[in-house]
Amino acid sequence: MKGDRPIVCLTAYDFPSGQWADAAGVDLILVGDSLGNVVQGQSTTIPVTVEEMAYHTRIVARAVRQALLVTDMPFGSFQSGVNAAVENAVTLMKGGAEAVKLEGPYADEIRAMCKAGIPVMGHVGMTPQSYHQFGGFKVQGREVEEGERVLDEARQIADAGAFAIVLELIPIDLARFITDTLDIPTIGIGAGPHCDGQIQVLHDVLGLSEGMFRHAKRYIEGRELLGKAIEEYAEDVRAARFPTREHGF
């Protein structure tokens, strides 16, 4: 789809969100390890396990009919070597993933997964699993040297056989340069408008996240609306307005 039309990507973590994204015609659904933040309430994605990713993949996979379903390889599942990386990717594929995504320039691991028949998506820039190394969620590649590092990593990942790559929190011009340089599609998040596609976290798009990132856009005030609905339900029960005879048997 590179150069065709912008590729629409969104995360999903369970059966209903998988159905919403798929029915809306999203091209690629990512079972992101961001579930550590938005589903589990953790401050980073680091504690998320392969078993948890496999569980969420299984329940999203039941909902997805047309989108490409990609699952994140969590922290610790590919860093210790090629064998562990392939084994863990196999577990996620058996759970229903059609491809996996991993953060960083793990060229040998990507090559081994591709050889095993597993399509791989790369991820560079602000890779959240390296939160402590980066000292927080910081834009990567502002300085020339840093930008060259991000570009070099993206090249290594593409050369290793990845079919697409996420560019997260990097300057607009760097993202444009990487997009023009690589033959594979770039999928941006906080990387400006010149990528081949965009990805967002479901909870940000639906206004369910507590904070708000500059790179995200809320399409509904989900937190407020859902909170009000639950308050109304509670008030109805307390005031004996629900249930009425028509809700009974």
Interface residue list for ligand KIV (CB under 6 A) = 11, 30, 32-34, 72, 166, 168, 189, 199, 201
Least distance (Å) between residue 57 CB and ligand KIV: 13
Q: Of 28 and 63, which CB lies nearer to ligand KIV in the complex structure?
A: 28
Instruction: Indicate which residue of 168, 231, 235, 246 is catalytic.
Output: 168
Tokens, residue 122: 């790369």
The Cβ of residue 52 has, within 10 Å, a number of other Cβ atoms equal to 17
Q: Of 160 and 167, which CB lies nearer to ligand KIV in the complex structure?
A: 167
- Specify the 3-state DSSP secondary structure of 132: helix
Please list, in sequence order, all residues whose beta carbon lies within 8 angstroms of the beta carbon of residue 21, skipping any fewer than 6 positions away: 10, 12, 29, 64, 67, 202
Least distance (Å) between residue 157 CB and ligand KIV: 14
Least distance (Å) between residue 32 CB and ligand KIV: 2
Nearest to 113 by CA among 74, 92, 75, 82: 82
Least distance (Å) between residue 131 CB and ligand KIV: 12
Q: Of 72 and 171, which CB lies nearer to ligand KIV in the complex structure?
A: 72
207: region left, alpha or beta (phi > 0 left; psi from -120 to 50 alpha): left
Alpha-carbon distances of 66 from 23, 94, 209, rounded to whole Å? 8, 18, 27
Scan for tokens 């997964």, then name that residue. 113
Please list, in sequence order, all residues whose beta carbon lies within 8 angstroms of the beta carbon of residue 38, skipping any fewer than 6 positions away: 13, 201, 202, 203, 208, 209
Tokens, residue 150: 């991000």
Q: Of 91 and 129, which CB lies nearer to ligand KIV in the complex structure?
A: 129
- Is 109 considered catalytic here? no
Nearest residue to ligand KIV by CB is 32
Least distance (Å) between residue 38 CB and ligand KIV: 8
Q: Of 96 and 190, which CB lies nearer to ligand KIV in the complex structure?
A: 190
Scan for tokens 């210790």, then name that residue. 80
Catalytic residues: 168
